[in-house]
A and B are shown apart, each in its own frame.
Chain A
Amino acid sequence: MIKAEKLTRKFGDFTAVDHISFEVGAGEIFGFLGANGAGKTTAMRMLTGLLVPTEGEATVAGYDVYEQPEQIKKRIGYMSQKFSLYEDLTVRENIRLYGGIYDLGDQQIKQKSDELVNMLGMKELQNKMIGSLPLGWKQKLAFSVALLHEPDIVFLDEPTGGVDPITRRQFWEQIYKVAEEGTTVFVTTHYMDEAEYCDRVSIMVDGNIDALDTPAGLKEQFDADDIEEVFIRLARGAERGE
C-alpha cells in the first residue's frame, strides 16, 4: 500500500528525513515511532502529499507522490497532530462539509452523519459547535471524518496525544476495527504501550529508520522486555534533542 525508497526531505541544510525506505502492506497497522523532531511528521506529510520530497521515491496506494498527489488524496484519510476541523461549525456541519468535498452523495452524507454520531455517542452534541467539545471527543470525531470516504489508507499523526487512557483505549478499538475492514493504518505515537498494538513498528532516530519489525521481533532483536526499552536504547544515541 505504501512504498518508500530512499525518501528524503531537507529544509535548507537540515535533513529532516534522511533516505528512509520501507513498505506497508494492505490492512496492516504500521506504527511509526520516534522522539520529538525525529522526522515522523515530515515523513508523513510527504506521503500525504502535503510536502514535496527533496529526493527518493514513494508510492501510496500505487500512485507516485510527485506525479499523482491528487490521486493519492482521493484514497487516503489524514488526521493531523493539531486538531484541524472547524471549531465554529457543528459536528454535523463538519461531517457534511468533508462528505461534500469527498464527493459523497447527499443521501450518503446524511446516512454517514447519522451513523457517525450514533457510533460516537454524540447524538446530543451533533448540533453543538466543535470548539465547545472536550479534546478526546474532538479527536474521535477527527478520526471518523478522516474515514468518511472509506479510504484505502488512513494516516494518523499522534491521534492520542493529550487524551485520557479510556479514550485512548476506545481509539485503539476503532483502529483495530477499521484495520479488520481492510483499511491500512499508518500511525505515529509517543506511547510505547500503543506500539505493542501495531502489526509492525518502525523507530525513527534523527531522520533515519533505525529499527523495523514486529513488536515481538524488535524485543527479541534488542533483547528487551518491552518496546519502551528498545526505544530508549535507540533514542539515547540521538543527536537531536527536544
Chain B
Amino acid sequence: MRTIRFLLQKEFLQIFRNKGMLPIIFLMPVVQLVLLSFAATYEIREVNFHLIDFDQSEASQQLVQKFQATGYFNLQSSSFNVDDGIEKMRSNDVRLALVIPQDFEQRLKLGQFASVQLNIDAVDGTTAGLIQGYGRSIIQDFSSRIRPNVENIKLTNQQGIEVIPASWYNPNLDYIQYMVPGILVVLISMIGMFLSGMNIVREREIGTIEQLNVTPIKRYQFIIGKLLPFWIIALFELGIGLLIAYYGFGVPFVGSAWLLFGIAGIFLLVVQGLGLFISTITDTQQQAMFIAWFLMVVFILMGGLFTPIQSMPVWAQELTIFNPIAHFIEIMRSVMLKGAGWFEVQHLVGLLTVMAVLILPASIFRYRKSTS
C-alpha cells in the first residue's frame, strides 16, 4: 500500500506538471459541451417562404399572419402559381412554398377538413424536418381541422419530389438533452482509454519503465499507480460535465447521482482495462494511439450516440453487447433523463462488470516486468 502511495504521488506530480496536457484535460468537458450546444442548435429562425393563396379569404390571411407572427417564418413573395414557388426555392430565395387551396375558408366554415400544402426544400433534410415540424404545429394551432399536406422537395435530385417521412418534430433543446449524456460518456472514455494506456507506453518509449522493472515493485502496484490517477480525474471530469449540463444547459438530472457515479467507476475500469491492454501489445505511443482511436470510433459510431442502435441492422445490434460505450450511454440517458434506478439498469451494469472482470486481469496478466 505504501508503495502505491509513492507511485500515485509521482503520477499526480507528472500530470499536473505537464503543461501541454493539463489545460486540455480540464478544458475538455467545457469545450465539448459548449461547442455541442452551438453546433447542435436545432432552432430555425426567419425561414423565407413563398405564398400561393388561391383562396384570398379572411381565414387564409389569418393563417399567413400566424405564420409570420411566430418569428420563424418570413413572407418573401407571393403569386398564384405553384411553379413560381418551386422556382424561388431553386434559386435559394425561399425554403418553403405554402399553398392554400381555393375552398379553404369555405370548408372550415362548413366544418369540413381543409388542407394546406407545405412544399419544403429538403436538400438539407434536418432543416426540412424542422420547417415541417414548425409549420405543422402552427397550422394545428390555427385549427385542428386543417390537414397539412407536406411535400418535401429535393431540388438536387432530378426525380423531383421526395417525401421524407419525418416522424418527429422537435423544437430546439431536446436534442441537447439527448446528446449531453452521450458526449459525457465519450469524454470520460477518452480519458480512461487514452491517458492511462498511453502513459505506460510513454514510459516504455523514454526508457523510464526499465528502472522500475528492476525494482521489486509488484505488477498490481504498478498498474494501480497508473490507473487510479486517471480514474479519479475522469470521475472529476464527469462531475464538472454534469454541473455544466445541469446549470449551463438546463439538462435535467432526475436519477441518482450516486448510482451514476458508481456505474461510471465500473465503466472506467473497462475502458482503462482496454487502454492498458493496448499498451501491453504496443511499443510506441503512435501505435497505441492508432489502435485506441480505431476502437473508440467503432464504439462511438455503434454506440448509439448519433444514431439510434435500433435503426442498425440486426447483426450490428447484436454486436453492441460487446460495446461498453453503448451500455454506458444508455445507462446515462436513462438515469439522467428518465430517472431510472438500479432495477432498470442492473442488466447493463452486469454486462459492464463482466467486461471489467475479464479485461482488467487479462491486461495485468499480459503486463510483464521482464521480456521473455
Interface residues of chain A, those whose CB is within 8 Å of chain B, are: 45, 48-52, 69-70, 73-74, 76, 78, 80, 82-89, 93, 96-103
Chain B interface size range? 20 to 34
The A-contacting residues of B in range 2-60, CB under 8 angstroms, are 2-3, 5-7, 9-10, 13-14, 17-18
- Contact with A80, one of B7, B10, B211 (Cβ below 8 angstroms): B211
Q: Nearest Cβ in chain A — how far from B237, in angstroms?
A: 22
Residues of chain A with a CB closer than 8 A to B216's CB: 70, 73-74, 101-103
Instruction: Please tell me if B369 contacts chain A, counting CB pairs below 8 Å.
Output: yes
- Contact with A89, one of B5, B14, B213, B372 (Cβ below 8 angstroms): B14
Q: Nearest Cβ in chain B — how far from A11, in angstroms?
A: 10
- Contact with A50, one of B6, B7, B208, B213 (Cβ below 8 angstroms): B213
Instruction: Please tell me if B110 contacts chain A, counting CB pairs below 8 Å.
Output: no
Residues of chain B with a CB closer than 8 A to A103's CB: 2-3, 216
- Contact with A52, one of B2, B212, B214, B371 (Cβ below 8 angstroms): B371
Known pairs A50-B371, A96-B9, A97-B10; list 10 more (Cβ under 8 Å): A49-B214, A52-B371, A84-B209, A84-B210, A86-B208, A88-B13, A88-B17, A100-B3, A100-B5, A101-B216
Residues of chain B with a CB closer than 8 A to A45's CB: 371
Instruction: Among B6, B10, B207, B216, find the residue whose CB has the most chain A CB atoms closer than 10 A.
Output: B216
- Contact with B211, one of A76, A84, A87 (Cβ below 8 angstroms): A84
The A-contacting residues of B in range 204-225, CB under 8 angstroms, are 206-217
Complex alpha-carbon distance, A98 and B6, angstroms: 8
Complex alpha-carbon distance, A203 and B213, angstroms: 27
Q: Nearest Cβ in chain B — how far from A95, in angstroms?
A: 11
Interface residues of chain B, those whose CB is within 8 Å of chain A, are: 2-3, 5-7, 9-10, 13-14, 17-18, 206-217, 369-372
A101-B215 contact given A80-B210, A84-B208, CB 8 Å threshold: yes
- Contact with A86, one of B14, B213, B214 (Cβ below 8 angstroms): B14
Complex alpha-carbon distance, A23 and B19, angstroms: 49
**Contact in complex: A80, B207 (CB < 8 Å):** yes
- Contact with B18, one of A51, A88, A96, A100 (Cβ below 8 angstroms): A88
**Contact in complex: A85, B211 (CB < 8 Å):** yes
**Contact in complex: B217, A50 (CB < 8 Å):** no
Complex alpha-carbon distance, A93 and B212, angstroms: 15
**Contact in complex: B3, A101 (CB < 8 Å):** yes
Q: Nearest Cβ in chain B — how far from A122, in angstroms?
A: 19
Residues of chain B with a CB closer than 8 A to A98's CB: 211, 215
**Contact in complex: B370, A50 (CB < 8 Å):** yes
Residues of chain B with a CB closer than 8 A to A86's CB: 10, 14, 208
Q: Nearest Cβ in chain B — how far from A155, in angstroms?
A: 8
Residues of chain A with a CB closer than 8 A to B215's CB: 73, 98, 101-102
Complex alpha-carbon distance, A101 and B9, angstroms: 12
**Contact in complex: B6, A96 (CB < 8 Å):** yes
- Pairs A–B under 8 Å by Cβ, sample size 12: A51-B370, A73-B216, A85-B211, A89-B13, A93-B10, A96-B6, A96-B9, A97-B6, A98-B211, A99-B6, A101-B3, A101-B215
A49, closest chain B residue (CB): B370
- Contact with A101, one of B6, B18, B369 (Cβ below 8 angstroms): B6
Q: Nearest Cβ in chain A — how far from B115, in angstroms?
A: 72
Complex alpha-carbon distance, A76 and B213, angstroms: 12
A101-B217 contact given A80-B210, A80-B211, A84-B210, CB 8 Å threshold: yes
